[in-house]
Every structure is written in structure tokens, then in C-alpha cells.
Amino acid sequence: MRQARALALLAPALLLAGAYISQYVFGLYPCEICLWQRWPHWAALALAVLAFVPRLPVRLLTALAAGGILVSGMIGGFHAGVEYGWWEGITSCAATAGPAAPGQSALDAIMDAPVVRCDEPPFTLAGISLAGFNFLFSVIAGLAIFRLLMERRR
């Protein structure tokens, strides 16, 4: 149970950290589908934190966190398919605007935001995009958590 809880906490935390580091340190701005992949990880992270609170249903919260991780992985798999041209995406390209800089209007911040295409990966490693890595890591982590939860039942 401890291993399942730890993995349910670490997997989304590390994947979110990687997403934000790639965005804010390396300038790889997310597209709309990239942002969709973050929401289930945030939910999984919150559920995993709650799994450490005494008197709460640890097994259920950990399983729900694993489900959130898998949902993010499935969105990542869909996004990777869009990037590789296997199918079309369901959204147009999106621009991500951050907060306006001091002395800059909100409209200027929106107009200066980079347009990020959902069908073009901004970075690949060995032919695998960041969405592809999210798919791989999230599915493996989610299934591993479920397996760890099942082993304790025997």
C-alpha cells in the first residue's frame, strides 16, 4: 500500500514538474491539448495527498489517483496520435497568454502570446514527443499503482 501511495503521489508530481520546467525554463509553450493533460494530474496529485490523511479511505483515494493518472495518459496518447498524424485533433491551435508584464496591457499579452500548434510537437526525443512520453509514463505508473493495490488484497 505504501508503494502504491508513493507512486500515486510521485508520478503526477514529477510529470507536472517536467511540464512546467519545459514551459518556463525551456520555452516549450503548451498547446490546448497539452493543458488538458495537466488537469487529471492535478486531480491525481490532490487525491494522492488526501490518501496520506489518517482516517480517509486510503485504497480508494489511491485508486482514484491512479485513474486520474491513466486519464492524463490517455489524453497524451490521443495528443501523440494528433502529432504523428494518425488522426485529426478536435481543437484548433491555441495560444497561451501569461499575465501581462508590468506596463503591458492584457490585450498586448494576448497578442504577443506564441501560437502553439497541437499537431506539431515542439520537442521529440528518439522520435517520441512530450505527449508520447506522458502517455508512456502515465499508463505505466497508473497500471503499476493498480497492480500494487491488487497485490495487497491477496
pLDDT in tens, 46-61: 999 999 988 989 899 9
Q: Is 98 left (phi over 0), alpha (psi -120 to 50) or beta?
A: beta
Assign 141 a pLDDT band (cuts: 50, 70, 90).
Answer: very high
pLDDT of residue 135: 95
89: cell is: 485533433
pLDDT of residue 67: 96
Q: Which domains does the chain have, with CATH numbers?
A: 2-97+105-153 (1.20.1550)
Residue 95 pLDDT greater than 60, yes or no: no
Average pLDDT over the chain, rounded to an integer: 86
Residue 109 pLDDT greater than 70, yes or no: no
- All residues at 6 or more sequence positions from 89 whose CB lies less than 8 Å from its CB, including other chains: 33, 79, 82, 118, 119
Q: What is the mean pLDDT of residues 37-43?
A: 95
Residue 83 pLDDT greater than 80, yes or no: yes
In the numeric block, the cell 497485490 is attached to: 151
Q: Write down the pTM of the prediction.
A: 0.80
